[in-house]
Amino acid sequence: MTRRFVIPGIGYRSDEEKQRHLASGAWLPTTAGESLRDAASAVPEKAAVIAEDGTYTFRQLDTLSESLAAGLIEAGLRPGARAIFQVGSVKEIFVALFGCFKAGIVPLCTLPQYREIEIKSLGERSGATAYFVQGDVSTSFDQIGFARSMMSAMPAIKHLIVTRGDVGDGLSLEMLAKKHDVETARDIVRPHAPFPDDVIMFQLSGGSTGLPKIIPRFHSEYLGSALALSNAYQLDENDVGMWALPLIHNAGMLFTVIPTTVTRRTNVIRNSFDVEKFLAAIAKHKVTFTGSIGPVAPRIMEYPRIGDFDLSSLRQFFTLSRADALEAHTGIVSGNMFGITEGLLTACAPTAPEEARHRGCGRPIAPGDEVKLLKPGSEEEVKLGEVGELAFRGPNTLVGYYNDPKANEACFTSDGFFRTGDLLRAFEVGGHIHYAFEGRIKDNINRGGEKIGAEELENLIAAHPDVLDARVVAMPDKIYGEKVCAYVVPRPGRSAPSVKTLGAFLLEVGLAKYKLPERVESISAFPVTRVGKVDKAAMRADIARKLADEEAAQASILPEAKEA
């Protein structure tokens, strides 16, 4: 394969690696734009995207995105240009993304919720020269005005493309998408169209602290990853998917945006999550597949009237954890999965044994994926059944973070495996090795030299009848160094269990006493990071601050007690 453009600071695969991954089927010999053109030719009148305010057929999506691509090129953008994308999960984002994919413009994963710190850092680090923005994300925030202020702070950004809002002196996505007929647009786009080996977009790392690192993904490998994920769940053109989370995220791209064209299946999208509207949409559109990277599954599990909705079309539901509880509550086949934007995905088919779907998070999905579980701080593999740090290499593993040599030096083993900082345990089901997520290295709590894995403890606490969800963090202790603090989201109408009650429950299920939480904090919702993940750093800071305040208050009382 060859490239239309080269972006300095990006690592590319060797020719031998490319040919191996193409031969195995892990990569597809095409681009996202060509994939849409092929789908539009094969099933032109089939619904590609169903949103709350309208539908695009494959022909419409192809035509609109082709004209947009031509308009962007005419505006002066060229292949390899990077674009900030503050557009939500609306149907227009499909036009915007595929217009960029066809023109070789590289979208940067930037949520509408990002503000000055994130946008300025990511815009400057990515070298962005364009800015896509949705005008009606919020009635209480001027998203377009914010984009203009950010452009003033970053003079390199010359192009503002607006959808669903007042364009002003910017470019209208809707007008560009209707400027040219499809054949005229193709003639304009063709000399600039990217090749399969070119970068398709910039994704972000999911680290729990600091600003995320930039991860380049490529047309051929990204399409291959999306197809492998669909195959793992046994999905095809007859399925109907649904997504109610950000589409610009890696998960949204691999579960929804790219599979729309690669598998030619219809996808229903929702701009926000409301449990009743979500369930009603499943019934209305006969959705067969959906899942949760965030609040969807917990909200469904706390909803008492599941039987009010016809969910008979839904064949399977994926989630990151507690698939057993979800399946018990809904009656829908459910399975845990694991994914990391740096490349590895693990999943279970709906036909997999219950033990595989519920006990772990699946198996690697791509041909050529290799996994090791290492003793933290070493390159020595742990034994089967022991917890170790996940390290992997394969067709979708990043070659390196964009323009970040220092980070790249630290995150690979001597034989090229990417070190994740995630702790997993391997186990065997039906002759196949599966994996269970056990937490992150920095999530481990060191109580007087005894290591306590967060994931194990969280799953047990979440099984308490009064608990909807739980996270545990280390709290400082003068004697033991650290002790366990549990942050608990109670079930509706119930209170969080006390330390004593929770401890008795955990002892009853067989947990070692030293692992028991020694403090319980009731919370309505967990804090999240800028990339939408549970922010354990914030919880650790919160409990440390509370303990310090309590100690200070106690110290102020003691002198008074002595005087008395």
> Does residue 371 fall inside a structural domain?
yes
Q: Are residues 173 and 268 in the same domain?
A: yes
pLDDT at 186: 98
Maximum CA extent, the chain: 91
> Does residue 163 fall inside a structural domain?
yes
Domain boundary among 407, 422, 442: 442
Closest CA to 261 of 68, 106, 88, 59: 59
Q: Are residues 453 and 438 in the same domain?
A: no
The pLDDT of 255-270, averaged and rounded, is: 98
Domain boundary among 409, 442, 475: 442
> Does residue 491 fall inside a structural domain?
yes
Domain with residue 469: its CATH number is 3.30.300.30
Domain with residue 185: its CATH number is 3.40.50.980
In this structure, of 51-60, 308-317, 514-523, 530-539, the range with the lowest mean pLDDT score is 530-539
| CB-based contact 463:488 (threshold 8 Å) | no
Domain boundary among 403, 421, 442: 442
Q: Are residues 56 and 109 in the same domain?
A: yes
Three-state SS for 365-415 is CCCCCEEEEECCCCCCECCCCCEEEEEEECCCCCCCCCCCHHHHHHCECCC
Beta 82-86 vs 106-109: how paired, if at all? parallel
- Domain count of the fold of the chain: 4
- Residue 509 carries which side chain, given as an amino acid letter? V
d(CA 306, CA 310): 9
* Angle made by CA atoms 84, 67, 63, in degrees to the nearest 5: 110
Locate the DSSP E strands across 117-207: 128-134, 159-163, 171-172, 199-204
Q: Are residues 458 and 365 in the same domain?
A: no
Model confidence pLDDT, tens digit, residues 165-213: 999 999 999 999 999 999 999 999 999 999 999 999 999 986 544 568 9
> Does residue 475 fall inside a structural domain?
yes
Domain with residue 404: its CATH number is 2.30.38.10
**Confidence check: pLDDT of 343 > 90:** yes
Q: How confident is the model at residue 408 (pLDDT cuts 50, 70, 90)?
A: very high
> Does residue 457 fall inside a structural domain?
yes
Q: Are residues 40 and 189 in the same domain?
A: yes
Q: Are residues 435 and 505 in the same domain?
A: no
The pLDDT of 48-58, averaged and rounded, is: 98
pLDDT at 209: 44
> Does residue 22 fall inside a structural domain?
no
Q: How confident is the model at residue 282 (pLDDT cuts 50, 70, 90)?
A: very high
Q: Are residues 74 and 201 in the same domain?
A: yes
Mean of per-residue pLDDT scores for the chain: 94
Q: Are residues 375 and 476 in the same domain?
A: no
* Residue-range definition of the domain harbouring residue 210: 30-272
Cα 557 from chain centroid?
Answer: 48
Q: Are residues 426 and 497 in the same domain?
A: no
Q: Are residues 385 and 261 in the same domain?
A: no
pLDDT at 211: 66
